[in-house]
Amino acid sequence: MIFRDRTDAGQQLAALLTRYADRTDVLVLALPRGGVPVAYEVAKELNAPLDVFLVRKLGVPGHEELAMGAIASGGVRVLNEDIVNYLRIPDEVIDAVAAVEKRELERRERAYRDDRPPPDVKDRVVILIDDGLATGSTMRAAAASLRLQKPRRIVVAVPVSSPETCDEFRSEVDEIVCAFTPEHFQGVGLWYEDFSQTSDEEVRELLKRATQQQQHAMSRAL
């Protein structure tokens, strides 16, 4: 084991990101649900605002594990044109799958944000965090979706990743930070002593706590 739990993982990851501390242009975004406890620790250490970036994979019907694209916060849709063209997936099928996933994405937006709008990422340094990278498909979709909203810099940061996936991201984002890249990876959960599921309630509580900390920090600065 490398990490006791996601809190420990976030604290260790934060130590590698201290160059982004106390900057007004930095925003920490977590992929729910497991990325939120990790990102909370990073945001607290960096004195940066925390929010969630919601992304839902669009699975090929009958082969749902194969991603033909993704939808993300802010109404963004990204398609894997190679998959779509190779399998000749018609627009109406894509639209039908996207409609189902959009309902779940909107449910989570309401559950986590209480109808607060997504954060404005334009011209900001965004640190995108999850609890680990295996194939990286969800993070890849998130980064591609985020790129369309024109942040100045996208930094993907995770506590643990397969070496291959971490290397692949070097050409896909502005910076990739993988705290540990074990040679015999075999899955994210194996590197946590406690990898129990993060609940919606925990996500809401951590986002609320992070907002209160930011408000307190701002009031002290005035």
The 10s digit of each residue's pLDDT in 175-192 is 999 999 999 998 899 999
Choose the weakest-confidence range: 124-128, 134-138, 193-197.
134-138
The pLDDT tens digits for 135-158 are: 887 888 889 889 988 999 999 999
Let me know whether 97 and 171 are in one domain: no
Contacts of 11-14 with CB under 8 Å at 24 or more apart are 11/41, 11/45, 12/159, 12/179, 13/38, 13/41, 13/42, 13/129, 13/157, 13/158, 13/159, 13/177, 13/179, 14/41, 14/42, 14/44, 14/45, 14/46
Stronger pLDDT, 41 or 221, i.e. the higher one: 41
Residue with tokens 């627009």: 91
Let me know whether 146 and 42 are in one domain: yes
Whether residue 222 has pLDDT greater than 70: no
Q: What is the pLDDT of residue 111?
A: 87
Whole domain around residue 21: which residue ranges?
6-53+114-221
- pTM of structure: 0.86
Which CATH number goes with the domain that contains 197?
A: 3.40.50.2020
- The whole-chain average pLDDT of the chain stands at 91
Whether residue 77 has pLDDT greater than 90: no
Let me know whether 32 and 73 are in one domain: no
For 121-148, letters b (16+ CB in 10 Å) and e give: beebbbbbbbbbbbebbbbbbbbbbbbe
With bands split at pLDDT 50, 70 and 90, how would you rate the model's confidence at 130? very high
Let me know whether 145 and 204 are in one domain: yes
- Determine, yes or no, domain membership for 118: yes
Stronger pLDDT, 112 or 114, i.e. the higher one: 112
Look at the chain and report how many structural domains it folds into: 2
Q: Which range is most confident: 6-20, 69-83, 124-138?
A: 6-20
Let me know whether 139 and 33 are in one domain: yes
Backbone φ and ψ of 49, nearest 5°: -65, 150
- Determine, yes or no, domain membership for 160: yes
